[in-house]
């Protein structure tokens, strides 16, 4: 399978499914992507705040903006 970038819709789907507590293997299956890509996306774009733990998580729009900045560099 050739690697292609995740698009905004896929990043949003990852965010939604993580909030629903769907495991990474199932997310990868639903998006027809490798698990490693999903894990990498979550690891790169996971937000963590000790003062506001209720905001911890992966956010699709933030991930998309981060990817755009990364590609522009």
Q: Among residues 51, 35, 53, which one has the least CA distance to residue 43?
A: 35
The predicted structure's pLDDT at residue 35 = 96
Residue 58 is given by DSSP the state: E
State how far the Cα of 31 lies from the Cα of 68, in Å rounded to an integer: 21
Cβ atoms of 28 and 38 within 8 Å: the answer is yes
Of 14-23, 44-53, 64-73, give the lowest mean pLDDT range.
Answer: 64-73
State how far the Cα of 10 lies from the Cα of 18, in Å rounded to an integer: 12
State how far the Cα of 31 lies from the Cα of 9, in Å rounded to an integer: 10
Q: Is the pLDDT higher at 12 or at 53?
A: 12
Longest dimension (CA), the chain: 41
**35-63 pLDDT, tens per residue?**
999 998 888 876 666 776 666 556 566 66
The predicted structure's pLDDT at residue 51 = 73
- Whole-model pTM: value is 0.66
């Amino acid at each position: 399978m050739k690697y292609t970038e995740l698009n905004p819709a896929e990043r949003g789907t990852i965010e939604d499914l993580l909030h629903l507590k769907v495991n990474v293997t199932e997310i990868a299956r639903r998006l027809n992507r490798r698990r490693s890509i999903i894990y990498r996306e979550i690891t790169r774009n996971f937000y963590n705040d000790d003062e506001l733990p209720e905001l911890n998580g992966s956010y699709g729009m933030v991930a998309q903006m981060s990817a755009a900045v990364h590609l522009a560099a």
